[in-house]
A and B are shown apart, each in its own frame.
Chain A
Amino acid sequence: MSLLKANNIHKRFQGVVALEGVNFELKSGEVHALLGANGAGKSTLIKIVSGYHAADEGEILVNEVKIPFNDPKASHKAGIATIHQEHNLIPHMSVVDNVMLGQWIGRYGVVSEEECRKKALNAINRVVPGLDLDLYGHQLTPAEGQLVEIARALSEEAKILIMDEPTTSLSPREIERLFNVMRDLKSQGIGIIFVSHWLEEIFEICDCVTVFRDGRYVGSEDIKNLDENTIIRMMVNTDVPELSPQKRNPGKEILKVRNLCKDGVLQNISFDLHEGEILTIGGLVGAGRTELARCIFGVDDYDSGEVLIDNIPIPKNSPRAAVKVGIGFVPEDRKGQGLARNLTVRENFTLSLLDKVTHLGFISKTSELDISNEQSAALKVKAPSMEANIMTLSGGNAQKVVIGRWLARKPRVLILDEPTKGVDVGAKAEIHRLIGEFAESGMAVLLITSEMPEVLLLSDRVLVMREGRISGKLNRSEVSPESVISFATAEEVVY
């Protein structure tokens, strides 16, 4: 029996085609993967189903009954709960209110604090037990925020649960917990749509797969009949080149970090980074890696310690100074911190390059366009044009813009925080290749990643962090999934 059906959905945005007659069918009790490269139209379909966009053509049926377009409330009523790819937290509301958003319990319009708390706690405990319910939305880490949104969807007790890339910012343990919840829901007959660029996850949790390519429906298939390569070919229609680890010869030290401390976050971090080297920082989400990167780049303050470039200390708390001495930083939360909202794709590409595109005090649009086109081609950015508003790009494509911006600047030290998070397989390989080339040309890369294949493919050396400390240093020959995981967790985890 089909729970949800999308028939022949068409959608264009100001002339740009996002969906061209796609179909989708969800049955109860199944986890159905929706796959496709960045910009394939996955989120667009999801936004239509959840009432955010109206389709130009086609219909959505829930239990064979048509639901209206552009009416989020009607979608909720029809039993659809959605976790969107963009984060949807209310910054100055507590975790309780964020979970209960729009569904506050109460009588005669008066909210019952106690019942809301109870229900929110229930949902929170399923996905992130122990989270302080009184924290505000803006105080949450990206992972916590994502989990709060998952809890919100769970608390709706919907029949249809849609998750658009819920796992991108989660740690393996959190993902495992989420999958257990999903299995539980599945056994209750709930249908789940799941989007992820992580094929391992698809094989672990999904029952069947529907693939979109360039806004078109490619096909649906039982997961049992598929292997990784078939899926990739359905998604991108070509083979993705297999990269192999490259041998590099690191040069002299360029970046030194000495005894960096920050109360409750970083404890006595020291390491060196050499020219022409990729140093990976492994560990679990929340180990303090993002904070370390932010301290080095001067976005956040630290209590004591030093960061030196060519043996000269750089002032803390000044990203400007960091850029001047040649450091570049691609942050983890790219939609939030990396993009200038409401500027065009071109302007976002050149945001950290303004000195390079300025001639006699004026910005040269021609050089801006040259750089944007070059990077956009290298990273296969799918955008209607360089003049489109950045917020209209799909999640993955917007991330590529932030990465391209720094690759074009060619800093001496590039810090990348989870650069391939939310990026599709083809682009992922391309970004890996570019990072490799980057290091070979003599630049130093500090790479934060939670993806094991990325660690294995790119690292010259690995630092593993746990609870704000460096818990292990590994040479290339010592790097293996087991060694990284054991340092990251202190206990042996069997995978």
Chain B
Amino acid sequence: MNSKSKTGFIQILRSFGRKFSDLQGLLIAILVLGTVLSILSDNFLTGNNIVNILYQATIVAVVALGQTFVILVGGIDLSVGSLIALSSVLSVGLTVNNGLPPWLGITITLILGIIFGLAHGLAVTKLRMPSLIVTLASLSLASGLAYVYSEGQNIIPVPEVFETIGNAQFFGGQIPVFIPFALVLIIISYITLTKTRFGRQIYAVGGNQMASRLAGIPSNRVIVIAFVISGLSAAVGGLMMTARLQSGSPIIGSGMELTVIAAVVIGGTSLFGGQGNVIGTVLGVLLLTMASNAIVLLSIPPNYDKVFTGLVIAIAAALDIYRQGKNTTNMSRLKRSSSGKEVAKNSNPKTEQNNSNVS
């Protein structure tokens, strides 16, 4: 009994170790950037600034979690930035302009996120449209709707709930409520992807859709659900953004799809699908948030901030490729031949010693 739980524990450690080994490049990038920043700026390593970074990271993280599901099934969701804007103006406007109670306005906003996701999923699975095109259309559509509805104006003042949520703090006013909220969502996503049958189905469909379908996995349904999760998480992101800025705005979130996708991809999730995890996504979000924090701390002129962010993404991606290259040429080969030897010792000396390395 004891030894059994022990091996179970070791297995968990091992599987964690494996996942982290995939993220080495990213961790190094984060550490390097952190070290540089703490040398260049006295303000970086203050409790205040760290909470600030985490706080900023939460919204991107929530949207990026949804995006991770979509990219894992081999799709992409470009509509999230515009959905954030649409959710923002709707959630406020439905109360301020249309007189609905706030809870109803918020519920309708969330449902709209789900509907967008559902539409994306169905277009991709039933109409066989590429998700890039479908969600590009939504990017334009949702943004347009946000402008039409708000007539291009910020909608203020926001209903009281947004103020309450935006100002809610934990631990004696130290930690904004968004941080534990995002943490909970991260944990739920992590467990969903690694422990549940649905998580397996996501990876299987992303890895080889045909094989999954033939094995009896409802691959279309899995894809639709992934898009729904992304649509919903964008709507939630829009609500969070509204609470933070205390205004319903049609311009917030514009361009954020690129940050979100960059975070997911530098977090090690393959754009081909079937490979990646949320821990990587969270680290990717952290890195990008630190980069934008650096722009403020180092007072980099605003005109250069995109150049800086671009460089950070490029370096993180290069580190990752470098690390992966090393891994596939050495690690997997070593692993392969050692397993070959094991086989040879066990029972049949003639099974594979062949080391045909695919990829």
Instruction: Check A89/B347 contact, CB under 8 A, given A72-B213, A111-B196.
Output: no
Given that A90-B208, A111-B196, A131-B343 are known contacts, is A467 also in contact with B349, CB under 8 Å in the complex? yes
Partner of B215 from A101, A135, A142, A144 at Cβ < 8 Å: A101
* CB neighbours of A490 from chain B (8 A): 349
A360 adjacent to chain B (CB < 8 Å): no
Given contacts A90-B212, A110-B197, A290-B356, contact A102 B204 (CB under 8 A): yes
Shortest CB–CB separation between residue A382 and chain B, in angstroms? 23
Name the residue among B212, B343, B358 with the largest chain A CB count within 10 angstroms: B358
Chain B residues within an 8 Å CB radius of A138: 358-359
Instruction: Report if A288-B203 is in contact (Cβ < 8 Å); known contacts: A109-B198, A135-B339, A264-B337.
Output: no
Cβ of B216: which chain A residues have Cβ within 8 Å of it?
72-73, 75-77, 102-103
Q: Is A367 an interface residue (CB 8 A)?
A: no
CB-defined contacts of A77 to chain B, threshold 8 Å: 216
Contact assessment for A489 and B350 in the assembled complex, using a CB-CB cutoff below 8 Å: yes
Within 8 A of B (CB), among A118-141: 128-132, 135, 137-139, 141
Inside 8 A of A264's CB, which chain B residues have their CB?
Answer: 333, 336-337, 340-341, 353, 355
Q: Interface residues of B: mostly helix, strand, loop or mixed? A: helix
Q: A130-B346, A290-B356 are in contact. Are A111 and B195 (CB under 8 A)?
A: yes
* A88 and B337 contact, CB distance less than 8 A: no
Q: Which of A132, A262, A288 contacts B342 (CB 8 A)?
A: A132
Q: Inside 8 A of B341's CB, which chain A residues have their CB?
A: 264
Q: A101–B352 contact, CB under 8 A?
A: no
The chain B residue with its CB closest to the CB of A332 is: B356
The answer to whether A102 and B196 have CB atoms under 8 Å apart is no
Residue of B nearest to A138 (CB): B358
Interfacial chain B residues near A137, Cβ < 8 Å: 207
Question: Is residue B211 within 8 Å, beta carbon to beta carbon, of the partner chain?
Answer: yes
Report the bound CA distance from A313 to B211 in whole Å.
Answer: 43
Is A82 in the interface zone, CB < 8 Å from B? yes
A-B contacts at CB below 8 angstroms, number: 161
Chain B: minimal CB distance from A179 (Å) = 16
Main secondary structure of the interface of A (DSSP, over half): loop
C-alpha spacing A174/B350, complex, angstroms: 10
CB-CB < 8 A to A143: which residues of B? 352
Chain B contacts of A291 at CB under 8 A? 354-356
- Judge if B152 is at the interface, Cβ distance under 8 Å: no
- Shortest beta-carbon distance from B178 to chain A in Å: 28
Question: A289 to nearest B CB, angstroms?
Answer: 8
Closest to A145 in B: B358
Are A286 and B354 neighbours in the complex by a CB distance under 8 Å? yes
| Interface size bracket, B side | 35 or more
Which of B11, B200, B337, B342 is in CB contact (< 8 Å) with A265?
B337
**Is A93 located at the chain interface by the 8 A CB criterion?**
yes
Q: How far is the CB of B326 from chain A (nearest CB, A)?
A: 14
User: Cβ of B335 < 8 Å from any Cβ of A?
Assistant: yes
Is the pair B196, A110 in contact by a Cβ cutoff of 8 Å? yes
Q: Which residues of A contact B359 (CB under 8 A)?
A: 138
Judged by a CB distance under 8 angstroms, whether B2 is at the interface is no
Are B218 and A73 in contact (CB-based, < 8 A)? yes
Bound Cα distance from A91 to B206, whole angstroms: 10
Contacts A73-B216, A104-B200, A138-B358; is A467 near B353 (CB within 8 Å)?
A: yes
Sample (25) of A-B pairs whose CB atoms are under 8 Å apart: A51-B214, A75-B216, A84-B214, A88-B211, A88-B215, A89-B208, A90-B204, A90-B208, A93-B200, A101-B211, A102-B201, A102-B217, A103-B215, A103-B216, A130-B346, A130-B351, A135-B335, A141-B354, A263-B337, A265-B354, A284-B350, A286-B352, A287-B350, A288-B355, A467-B353
List 9 additional A-B contacts (Cβ < 8 Å) besides A135-B336, A139-B335: A90-B212, A92-B207, A111-B197, A128-B351, A131-B343, A132-B342, A286-B351, A294-B356, A300-B356
Measured CB to CB, the residues of B under 8 A from A are: 8, 11, 195-201, 203-204, 207-208, 210-218, 270, 274-275, 332-333, 335-337, 339-344, 346-359
